Amino acid sequence: MSAVTASALPPFLVGALAVQVRAELGFDAAGLGVVVGAYWASSALCSAALGRAAERLGARRALRLGLTLNVVIQLTLAVAARSWGALVAVLLAGGAVNALVQLAVNVLLAHEVPPHRLGLALGAKQSAVPLGTLLAGLAVPAVALTVGWRWAFVGGAVLGVGALLALPGGGPVRGHGAGGRARIGDRPLGPLVVLAVAGALGAAAAGALAAFLVSGGVHAGIGEGAAGLLLTLGSACGIAVRLVAGARADRRGGQPLRVVAVMLAGGAVAFLAYATGIAGAYALATPLAFGAGWAWPGLFNLAVVRDNPDRPGAATGVTQTGIYVGALLGPLAFGAVVDHAGFGVAWVATAGCSVAAATVMVVGRRLLVRRSADAAVR
């Protein structure tokens, strides 16, 4: 979990510390969207290729490489990010590193965790992402408002070093046929592409949530420290739900995508509450936003891995591309809407995006069921 948290931490720290970072470096909400979006754009562009690379290199070797680079990235943010352009450049590099770490962990879990525990394992892995937002939220009152925002990235680098030292030894974990170009078996890519689109829509909403919850809360009248703690509370709810949902999916078996769709719809309700601009609504809606609207990725990855057990890296490389595209476009679009129409309109648009994600997710589930039925007939 610490490996994924460390790799995903930079954009969440930038989002949580946005008030302080923007004040020092001098950029607006749209500029914040570009900064966070650059990270996810890099992850999206590299995801499919790095999924294959993680299978060829072996999961442990890929993880060691990714974590080492992550430490360098975070120290660079702490020391050398002296302008908006420098911030964008470093986040671009960090996004590629994140893609490598995420996909290497997927390969490691798929080949080393028993199938009846895979849901919990993936839930724990995906809990590392809201853990990153939790730490980012704590960094506002504990670090940014005391010793300065740059020290938060020093703390992130320390986390990366700890994850690197804790990585278990042993030989590399390779996927089947890791020496050649990845194919998703003999199965058509159509269902995975549809799921990638659904993931993109859901991640767009989640990316906006992570990047702008603190800024939006401050705009609604919540203090900077309290808004950071609200982000921490929501992240804790997201972690708990991901773990419980993963364990339950292990007991139930089957395809969990229907649950994913319901969670996305629940997230839309929370985003509409944010749109009211009432400080109390932020507090009441945040557990739902994180516990439903952003607690689905573990179940999403479980569905993809269960359907493609021989090539988990290549398959999740396809769907993660959609996730990263959404995480890129969500903050960009949200920031642009805020600058032109305000936070209320931006949160309404985010709710619509989450509803669209739920709808496409149902379509993707039906395609997977149909493909499995066709394979059984053959």
Domain ranges of the chain: 2-168+186-377
Region 66-71 average pLDDT: 96
Signed CA dihedral, 332, 209, 162, 148: sign only: positive
pLDDT given for residue 171 in this prediction: 54
Region 139-151 average pLDDT: 89
Give yes or no for residue 100 having a pLDDT over 70: yes
CA distance 352 to 23: 31
Give yes or no for residue 122 having a pLDDT over 50: yes
Percent of the chain with pLDDT over 70: 93
pLDDT given for residue 181 in this prediction: 44
Give yes or no for residue 105 having a pLDDT over 80: yes
User: Which overall architecture, per CATH, does domain 2-168+186-377 show?
Assistant: Up-down Bundle (1.20)
Give yes or no for residue 145 having a pLDDT over 80: yes
Region 168-180 average pLDDT: 54
pLDDT given for residue 187 in this prediction: 64
pLDDT given for residue 137 in this prediction: 81
SS3 per-residue string spanning the chain: CHHHHHHHHHHHHHHHCHHHHHHHHCCCHHHHHHHHHHHHHHHHHHHHHHHHHHHHHCHHHHHHHHHHHHHHHHHHHHHHCCCHHHHHHHHHHHHHHHHHHHHHHHHHHHHHCCHHHHHHHHHHHHHHHHHHHHHHHHHHHHHHCCCCCHHHHHHHHHHHHHHHHHCCCCCCCCCCCCCCCCCCCCCCCHHHHHHHHHHHHHHHHHHHHHHHHHHHHHHCCCCHHHHHHHHHHHHHHHHHHHHHHHHHHHHHCCCCHHHHHHHHHHHHHHHHHHCCCCHHHHHHHHHHHHHCCCCCHHHHHHHHHHHCCCCHHHHHHHHHHHHHHHHHHHHHHHHHHHHHHCHHHHHHHHHHHHHHHHHHHHHHHHHHHHHHHHHHHC
CA distance 134 to 126: 13
Signed CA dihedral, 28, 146, 150, 96: sign only: negative
pLDDT given for residue 33 in this prediction: 82
Q: What is the pTM of this model?
A: 0.79
Give yes or no for residue 345 having a pLDDT over 70: yes
pLDDT, one tens digit per residue, over 217-255 is: 999 999 988 888 898 899 899 999 999 999 999 998 777
Region 179-183 average pLDDT: 45
pLDDT given for residue 178 in this prediction: 45
Region 303-328 average pLDDT: 86
pLDDT, one tens digit per residue, over 20-36 is: 999 999 998 888 888 98
- Six-digit token string for 262: 């319901």
Give yes or no for residue 179 having a pLDDT over 50: no
Region 331-360 average pLDDT: 95
CA distance 334 to 112: 39
pLDDT given for residue 176 in this prediction: 47
Inter-helix orientation angle 18-25/2-16, to 10°: 60
Region 342-364 average pLDDT: 97
Band of pLDDT at residue 1, cut at 50, 70 and 90: low
Band of pLDDT at residue 158, cut at 50, 70 and 90: very high
Q: Which of 321, 351, 347 has the alpha carbon at shortest distance from 335?
A: 347
